[in-house]
Structure 1
Amino acid sequence: MMAGGLSPSKPATEEIQNMVDEVKPQYEEKSNEECEKFEAICFKSQMVAGVIYFVKVAIGNDQYVHLKIFKPLPQKNESMKLLDYQTGKTEEDELTYF
């Protein structure tokens, strides 16, 4: 993967779902919304000093959110951070940089 550019969209993996599960409490706190469903659908990534993941997440009732998650380099020994999110998304909305 080229540093700086966004990767093509890929189907979510177990690793991506685990990341989404880890930042779910951060999303619920920031959005003031509890989500019964929080299922990763697809993702794009961007190499920086770590990796930024843009993930489309189904939250139920045909509603989707896009999450921007930062995963630090392993040697940093830091946890993942929800940098930003977008609500009001649909299944057809493309993941883009935000």
Structure 2
Amino acid sequence: RRSGELCLVACPRSARHVIEEETMASPRVGGLSQELKPADATVQEICDKVRSDVEKKLGQNFAEFTPVNYRTQVVNGTNYFVKVRVGSDQYVHVRTHKSIQGDVTLAAVQDNKSLNDEVEHFA
């Protein structure tokens, strides 16, 4: 095959369907996931690791620090954009980075959020 030539492989219709489904279900590298997911044990663990950094950055100690929902962004590791309940009707949005090696760091935080505020990309 010469450089620049397109190589086509014949495959049964069912195999193409599986490939198309997998491609559509996989998150785009660099893109924020469209699906807002409910927080799970993994997200709770990530939030526990950055809680003291969030409190220090905002100058507050929270009685509660419960993740509600989140979105992810696949980069060199994974960015987690998490809505965290920090009190009665009080929320913050936390952006963390989990490296490929598993190290978790706080990237950014937004305070004065409500339950209805959309979890979006922020720097």
With the shorter chain as reference, the TM-score category is over 0.9
Task: For 1:31 and 1:90, locate their aligned partners in 2 and report how far apart those are by CA, in whole Å.
Answer: 16
User: Residue by residue, what CA displacement relative to the aligned partner does 1:53-89 show, whole Å, maximum 9, x if unpaired?
Assistant: 0000000121000000000112xx6x31111010010
Max radius of gyration: which structure? 2
Match of 1:83 in 2: 107
Percent of counterpart pairs with the same letter?
Answer: 36
Q: Which amino acid aligns with 2:28?
A: M
Aligned to 1:54: 81
Match in the other structure for 2:8 = none
Structure 1 residue runs of 4+, over 4 Å off? none
Which residue of the partner structure matches residue 6 of structure 1? 32
TM alignment of 1:15-34, pairs within 5 A? 15-34=42-61
Aligned partner of 1:96 in structure 2 is 120
Note the C-alpha offset of 1:97.
Answer: 0.6
Identify the match of residue 64 of structure 1 among 91, 98, 104.
Answer: 91
- TM norm structure 2: 0.75
**5+ long unaligned stretches in structure 1:** none
Provide the C-alpha distance between the structure 1 equivalents of 2:110 and 2:121, rounded to a whole number of angstroms: 11
How far residue 2 of structure 1 moved from its aligned partner, in angstroms, is 1.2
Range with bigger deviation, 40-49 or 79-88: 79-88
Which of 18, 21, 45 is equivalent to 2:72?
Answer: 45
RCO higher in 1 or 2 (8 Å CA, sep ≥ 6)? 1
Q: Per-residue displacement from partner, 1:13-55 (whole Å, max 9, x unpaired)?
A: 0110110011001111111110110000000000000100000
Q: How many residues align?
A: 95
Unpaired runs of 5+ residues, structure 2, are 1-26
